[in-house]
Structure formats: structure tokens, C-alpha cells
Structure 1
Amino acid sequence: MSQFLTLEQVKLNLKVDHDEEDDLILSLIRAAFDAFEQETNRKLYEVGAVIPEDVLNGMIVTDSIIQGAHMLIGHWYKNRESVGTGTELPMATAWLWKKHRWVNT
């Protein structure tokens, strides 16, 4: 499970008050942060963590990353089939996350 968002936080954001889809929602949480790391070439760490010196692309999770994850999870939850290109991030999520992209030079 993601250490960045809890099941309860996401269910509150989705306005879900039942337990039947908890496994699905947990999967979406993990997938959202995996998507962030793949999209930005970053390795996320929780607030207060010490990023190892050898992890050049490490960063502490921010509110904009959390908000982007909420939006992506909500999008996936409401649109269970692929939409449009299917691989693109929702515009708001992409906007929140693009500033965190790390390019190894």
C-alpha cells in the first residue's frame, strides 16, 4: 500500500462509503504513484524521510503530487474502460506533475 495516501483518504475524496471496492481502490492508489514515478523519472519518499545520497532523482512527496494522484485515481475509478488514448494522464494531473520531471544529464 502507498505510504502517501490511505484508503480512507481516497474513499473520502471519491465519496465512496462501502467496502466492496477496497481492493480496487488500493490498486488504483498504488498505480497512481507508480504512474507518477514513471512519468517524472522520480523516486518518491514520504515527508520527513532522508533521501539516500546515491538516489539522485529522489524527492519528498508534495501536496501537488498528492492532489494529482487523487485526480488520477478519481479518473480511473469513474472511467474503468480506457478512454481516448488510454495512456495519457488527465490534463490536471499532468499539469500538477510536469514540474517535478527529472532529467538525468
Structure 2
Amino acid sequence: MINLARVKLHLRVDGDEEDTVIAGYFEAAKSHVAMHCDRILVEAEPAGPDEMGLTPDVEQAILLLVGHWYANREAVVIGTISTAVPLAVDRLLWYRKRF
């Protein structure tokens, strides 16, 4: 189960100054994963084909999204050489996506 404490551990964040920001990213990441896979996220065992449980791979995808958004808060970075890094989230969720 993912909660704010686990997300903060993943981000290596101590203290509570960033809790509101992190909680916003966490909720957005859950929503993003649900929409990406075209399913409703449930913490219990999925009851139907329109539901998806929070299995370890789904949880990891959520944590990776939160980490990415937390570290990269702006859409553009000026003054650096940039290279696209493949995001593991897509791979973690690929087989769960409905085509």
C-alpha cells in the first residue's frame, strides 16, 4: 500500500514542508496511471475488468511518476544540455494498457 510516508521515503524527503506538493503529485500520479491503463485503481483485489489492483509494478510506476514530477517541477530547463531519458513508467504499465 502506498501512503504519503512511503512516497516521502522514495523521494528521500524528511520533514513536512513539502507534504502538500508531494500529496498533489501522488494523487495526480494515481490518476495518470488509471487513465493510462483505462481502469479504476483499487487497493483490494480487482472485482471486474474495469478495475486494476495496486500490485507492486503499479505501485512502482506511481512512485516513479511522483519522483519524476518532484525532481522536474518545470516544463523547460534553460542553460543545460538535455537528453530524453526513457521513463520506466511506460514499461511497468505497458502490459496493463488496453489497446
TM-score bin, normalised by smaller chain: 0.7 to 0.9
Query: What root-mean-square deviation, in Å, do the aligned CA atoms of Structure 1 and Structure 2 show?
Result: 1.8
Q: Which 5+ residue runs of structure 1 have no aligned equivalent? A: 85-89
The correspondence of residues 77-92 of structure 1 with structure 2, limited to 5 A, is 77-83=70-76, 91-92=87-88
Aligned to 1:25: 22
Whole-angstrom distance in 1 between the partners of 2:51 and 2:98: 9
Q: What is the percent sequence identity of the aligned residues?
A: 35
Aligned to 1:16: 13
Whole-angstrom distance in 2 between the partners of 1:94 and 1:38: 13
* Greater Cα shift, 90-99 or 23-32: 90-99
Summarize deviations over 1:35-63 as a string: whole Å, max 9, x none.
Answer: 0011110111113x462xxx532122210
Please, what TM-score do these two structures have when normalized by structure 1? 0.77
How many residue pairs get aligned? The number is 91
- Kindly report structure 1 stretches of 4+ aligned residues shifted beyond 2 Å: none
Secondary structure in 1 aligned to 2:52?
A: strand
Please, what TM-score do these two structures have when normalized by structure 2? 0.82
Deviation of 1:78 after TM superposition, in Å, equals 0.3
Whole-angstrom distance in 2 between the partners of 1:70 and 1:27: 13
Summarize deviations over 1:4-53 as a string: whole Å, max 9, x none.
Answer: 42110011110000211101111111000100011110111113x462xx
Whole-angstrom distance in 1 between the partners of 2:29 and 2:46: 23
Whole-angstrom distance in 2 between the partners of 1:76 and 1:19: 18
